[in-house]
Amino acid sequence: MATPTTKATLKSYCKRALGFGVIDINVSDDQVDDRVDEALQYFSQYHYDGVEKMYLKYKITEADITRARGNTTTTSADTVDSSITASFEEGNNFIPMPSSVISVIQIFDFTNAVQQNMFDIRYQLRLNDLYDFSSTSIIHYQMTMQQLDLLSHVLVGEVPIRFNQHQNRLYLDMDWEQMTADEYLIIECYRKIDPTTYTDIYDDMYLKRYATALIKRQWGANLSKFNGVATLGGVTMNGAEIYSQSIEEINKLEEEIKEGAFSTPINYMIG
């Protein structure tokens, strides 16, 4: 069996799975290409092997800070009386994200948990209570650090973020006056795996089955336009049957995703 390693070989594999070489598969090459693209898109959105968890570094620039301090103005008019208008300002407090990023979970805290300020309570705890890891219980230290973390969340809070993969913008709803150039943001996110780089994706069992089912649906849809028409040899086309079979196969495969057999983690959509 030829192992698919490219989009072209995956298309050939799916067509052979439907009987190509023995019977005619009545789909155009463009239609096959569209269905494979659709399968890859579904795979990257819902299959756990279609994405990877990443920690991206982003270096803040002066241009980012200047842009974030500005606003974009939008003006709207009343639907009844067009002479009545209102202007709205929207902050430009975003950074552009790679198109391969499909979900942002969080950005890490700006505070330094290991700062060297001798007046910091965490420094004093390590200096006086935990200097040799044997003079006191580490349980007390752990409970104290958790309490400090809770106080930080209540009194300081986390930076609210907004992200939509179709905008490719990560909005940071914070006071950008506190930001300085050359600071780094650490962004926890999920990123699509590029099949042209990691070609083993084309040989994924689920992807091959799903792409084949989509092409079969296209085949049935094409033939259904000639349903009941007899060919020269007396064979009657039954595109509706092929179409209904493909729908059952697609529903079964998508149900496997919904039941969690191949699905991405729950926190994947957060942010």
Q: pTM for the full model?
A: 0.77
pLDDT band at 159 (very low <50, low <70, confident <90, very high): confident
What does the pLDDT look like over 91-124, one tens digit per residue?
999 999 999 999 999 998 765 555 556 667 666 6
Q: Which of 167, 171, 157, 149 is nearest to 93 (CA)?
A: 171
Counting other chains too, the contacts that 92-95 makes at CB distance below 8 Å and 24 or more residues apart are 92/67, 92/68, 93/68, 93/171, 93/172, 93/173, 93/174, 93/176, 94/68, 94/169, 94/170, 94/171, 94/172, 95/58, 95/64, 95/169, 95/170, 95/172, 95/185
Give the pLDDT band (50/70/90) at residue 150.
confident
Using alpha carbons only, give the angle 13, 15, 17 rounded to the nearest 5 degrees.
70
Do the beta carbons of residue 71 and residue 92 sit within 8 Å?
A: yes
Least confident span in 113-117, 179-183, 227-231: 113-117
Q: Which residues contact 262 (CB under 8 A, 6 or more apart)?
A: 46, 47, 48, 49, 206, 256
Tell how far CA 200 is from the center of its chain: 19
Q: What is the pLDDT of residue 111?
A: 58
Does 196 have pLDDT greater than 80? yes
- Joined together, the tokens standing for residue 188 give 């926890």
Instruction: Read off the pLDDT of each residue in 13-22 and give the average, rounded to a whole number.
Output: 92
Residues 26-67 have pLDDT tens digits of 899 999 999 999 999 999 999 989 999 999 999 999 999 999
Pairwise CA distance, residues 30 & 37, whole Å = 11
Query: Regarding predicted confidence, which is higher, 2 or 175?
Result: 175
